């Protein structure tokens, strides 16, 4: 009888441990699956990266591209964090051709510097320092309009005439520059602030699109809906454009970015640390002892 009881107890024990092991494997697999999904989910919402430019003449980015796709329409948009005083002309984007300067010029102090096709879009918009704001400047040959937007609202609109964008120019980000081969044309108008999601589009965006870009917020993926219209994307500026001087990447933490990762990481750690499994094992042994003595 004792031998038969021992055999039965052993078989139950093996089955129980097997079930416990299966439960452990299932929980671990489930946890890893959840964790993997949460990481994949939050990767799309990873902390958005801005670029911070040191306030000096050496910190800039320069591009010479074929401007033909934007010859008859262009929109430049960016989130801008101005760090200099309101009186400082801090240019964060310029496009100048050898034969024409001020083709496009935008500064943190937009009420002083906002040019499109040499036309000054005069405005009285003050830009507070240390705050993120959204700025767009748009032009279309068909509409014959230059429009300046601040935080999703058109603050200045002017007629542009029959002029088209001059080809063969140089784009500078974070600095004012006239020509790519003349460093003497650098002026004391360094940006010294931060840029985020600076995109250039090969058409004149509508007022509704600009407004939605702003209202969607810094952490939205609204710009992805305009990929087909992009001439120069933020990802290209961020990852594939040479940096001069001191330009650093700054993570912009968006609301909810890490919630899932932290939540499921905590859950995963509890499983790995055997908090849950230990309790299951203890409860199993208690039940086993009870049934063992009962038999």
The mean per-residue pLDDT over the stretch 109-128 comes to 85
pLDDT score of 186 more than 50: yes
pLDDT tier at 272, thresholds 50, 70, 90 = very low
pLDDT 10s digits, 22-64:
556 655 555 555 444 444 444 444 458 999 999 988 899 999 9
Reported pTM: 0.70
DSSP, residue by residue, 244-278: BSSEEEEEEPPTTSSHHHHHHHHHHHHHHTTHHHH
Distance of alpha carbon 82 from alpha carbon 89, whole angstroms: 11
pLDDT score of 176 more than 60: yes
pLDDT 10s digits, 201-236:
999 999 999 999 999 999 999 999 999 999 999 999
List helix spans (H) across the chain: 2-43, 207-216, 234-240, 259-272, 275-294
Contacts of 71 (CB under 8 A, 6+ apart): 164, 165, 167
User: Taking the C-alpha atoms of 90, 94, 98 and 99 in order, what is their torsion angle to the nearest 10 degrees?
Assistant: -90
Q: Which residue has the higher pLDDT, 232 or 3?
A: 232
Distance of alpha carbon 274 from alpha carbon 90, whole angstroms: 57
Q: Which residue has the higher pLDDT, 153 or 3?
A: 153
Contact present, 155 and 133 (Cβ < 8 Å):
no
pLDDT 10s digits, 73-91:
999 999 999 998 877 888 9
* C-alpha closest to that of 83 among 63, 59, 48: 59
pLDDT of residue 192: 92
């Amino acid at each position: 009888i004792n031998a038969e009881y021992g055999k039965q107890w052993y078989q139950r024990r093996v089955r129980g441990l097997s079930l416990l092991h299966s439960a452990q494997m299932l929980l671990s697999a489930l946890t890893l699956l959840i964790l993997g999904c949460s990481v994949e989910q939050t990767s799309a919402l990873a902390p958005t990266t801005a670029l911070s430019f040191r306030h000096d003449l050496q910190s800039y980015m320069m591009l010479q591209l074929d401007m033909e796709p934007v010859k008859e329409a262009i929109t430049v948009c960016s989130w801008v964090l101005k760090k200099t005083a309101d009186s400082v002309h801090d240019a964060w984007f310029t496009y100048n051709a050898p034969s024409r300067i001020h083709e496009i010029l935008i500064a943190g102090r937009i009420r002083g510097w906002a040019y499109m096709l040499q036309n000054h879009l005069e405005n009285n918009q003050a830009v507070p320092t240390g705050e993120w704001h959204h700025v767009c400047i748009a032009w279309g040959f068909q509409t014959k309009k230059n429009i300046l937007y601040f935080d999703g609202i058109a603050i200045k609109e002017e007629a542009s005439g029959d002029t088209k964008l001059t080809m063969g120019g140089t784009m500078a980000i974070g600095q004012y520059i006239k020509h790519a081969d003349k460093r003497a044309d650098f002026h004391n108008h360094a940006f010294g602030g931060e840029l985020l999601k600076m995109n250039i589009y090969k058409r004149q965006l509508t007022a509704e699109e600009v407004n939605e870009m702003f209202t969607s917020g810094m952490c939205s993926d609204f710009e992805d809906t305009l990929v087909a219209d992009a001439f120069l994307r933020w990802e290209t500026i961020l990852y594939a454009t040479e940096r001069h001087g001191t330009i650093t990447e700054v993570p912009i933490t968006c609301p909810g970015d890490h919630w899932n990762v932290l939540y499921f990481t905590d859950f995963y750690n509890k499983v790995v640390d055997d908090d849950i499994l230990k309790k299951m094992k203890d409860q199993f042994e208690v039940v086993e002892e009870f049934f063992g003595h009962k038999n």
